[in-house]
Amino acid sequence: MKVIAFGDIHGRLDWFDIYQMEKPDLVIFMGDYVSTHDPDITSEQQCCNLEDILNFKEENPDKVILLRGNHDMQHLGYYWAECSGFDAYVARWMSTIRDRFLRLTQWVHIQDGIVFSHAGISKVWWDTLDLGEPTLDNILKINDLPPSELFGFTSYRLSDYCGDSETQPLTWIRPYAVTKYGIKGLPQVVGHTRIDCDGDVVQWLGDKVHYEIAPTELWCIDKLPMAYFVMEDGKKELRFNKLLKK
């Protein structure tokens, strides 16, 4: 079985060409379909692109998984999800599709023992959910939780401006906290945090922290359109986009 996962979309259109090229059995979107700092991506493009993605899910319900990101929750109007990149046009449009969006999306997906979520799951945050031991079956129970403050920015220290605390939810936590406070033995694939070509995670204000983005427990794939995650025949890799125009 061939699985591909796209990092945060943020209005970019590249995903469909990659999908057609790769022809996967399953495609996972890591959330954050809207909100952008790219002046070439308009509000209208963000909305049209998300509409295409929702249609794609409805047309291929067993082949497409849509996860939720912090920017999506913000534009659905949840006060606890405020973050950068707010777009009033996008928010007005998303208010008209809130029920549809929530019906077609989820917080977490598990594939071949690997947990996919927008930002990652720490043991500290997991323990606040009161869902029992962090077995794969129990982790899937997160999808039964409605949007609430549980998924809002939850810092443990005053210096946490971007999600570095172990208390942060799966919509906000950063890779450093996931690697240090993650659930032991639980492989995870996440978006949310940009990485460069060397596999370094680019943190807030451009600081870099290196992680082994290959054989072990954490893959950071917020790298579209440059690259995306592929899992096939037990192998996992960050595959670079051959369709990207130089």
Least confident of 6-15, 104-113, 122-131, 190-199: 190-199
Least Cα distance to 9 among 218, 191, 174 occurs for: 191
Q: Is the pLDDT assigned to residue 211 strictly greater than 80?
A: no
The residue length of the chain stands at: 246
Global pTM? 0.91
Split at pLDDT 50, 70, 90, the class of 115 is very high
Q: Determine the pLDDT at residue 119.
A: 96
Tokens 């906290």 belong to residue: 177
Residue 218 φ then ψ, to 5°: -135, 125
CA distance 182 to 123: 5
Model confidence over 148-175: pLDDT tens digits? 999 999 999 888 888 999 999 999 999 8
DSSP tag of 92: H
Amino acid at 242: K
Tens digit of each residue's pLDDT (9 = 90 or more) over 29-85: 999 999 998 999 999 999 999 999 999 999 999 999 999 999 999 999 999 999 999
- Number of separate helices (H) and strands (E) present in the chain: 8, 11
- With 0-12 / 13-18 / 19 or more C-beta atoms within 10 angstroms meaning exposed / middle / buried, residue 130 is exposed
What does residue 106 show for φ and ψ, rounded to 5 degrees? -150, 170
Q: Which structure tokens are listed for 4?
A: 């591909």
Tell me the two tokens of residue 127. Answer: 């323990």
Q: pLDDT tens digit string along 13-29?
A: 999 999 999 999 999 99
CA dihedral (58, 95, 140, 177) positive or negative: positive
Q: Is 30 helix (H, G, I), strand (E, B) or coil?
A: coil
What pLDDT, in 10s, does the model give residues 185-208?
A: 888 999 998 765 444 444 333 344
